[in-house]
């Protein structure tokens, strides 16, 4: 279970390379792309650490309120990460052509579908 929880953080560079290639980022779009990619990297690391911390605490059963607080902390980290990535994605999206935006919309929808399928609720 621990390995599965950490899987999303192992291929960040590959995912970014795939998105960049699919979007066909131009030299003129490099600055907003780099800001977006840096935000993704930073938030992925933050979530990796939050997930490790939550998993370490989950090994101990503990009182139900404490278990809920650990879950709230992890969900809050996810929310904060999404907000930071969205803030970096907005200028990138504005710099994209209409065709690139359609591709971005499809990639994001696919990414969120994959996340939902892999998400396990306790």
pLDDT along the chain (122 residues), means of 10: 59 93 97 97 92 78 87 93 96 98 94 63 36
CA distances in angstroms from 91 to 39, 72, 87, listed in the order given: 12, 30, 8
CA 19 – CA 111 distance, rounded (Å): 11
Task: Count Cα neighbours of 122 within 13 Å in the Cβ-side half-sphere.
Answer: 14
CB 33 within 8 A of CB 92: yes
Q: Which burial class, exposed, middle or buried, applies to 106 when counting CB atoms under 10 A from its CB (0-12, 13-18, 19+)?
A: exposed
**pTM of the model as a whole:** 0.82
pLDDT at 120: 41
Q: Is 97 left (phi over 0), alpha (psi -120 to 50) or beta?
A: beta
């Amino acid at each position: 279970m621990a390995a599965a929880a950490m899987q999303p953080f192992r291929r960040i560079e590959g995912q970014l390379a795939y998105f960049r290639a699919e979007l066909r980022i131009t030299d003129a779009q490099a600055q907003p792309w780099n800001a977006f990619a840096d935000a993704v990297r930073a938030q992925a690391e933050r979530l990796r650490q939050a997930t490790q911390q939550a998993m370490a605490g989950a090994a101990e059963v503990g009182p139900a309120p404490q278990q809920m607080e650990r879950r709230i902390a992890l969900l809050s980290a996810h929310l904060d990460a999404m907000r930071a990535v969205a803030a970096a994605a907005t200028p990138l999206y504005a710099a994209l052509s209409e065709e690139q935006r359609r591709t971005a919309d499809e990639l994001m929808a696919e990414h969120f579908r994959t996340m939902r399928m892999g998400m396990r609720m306790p």
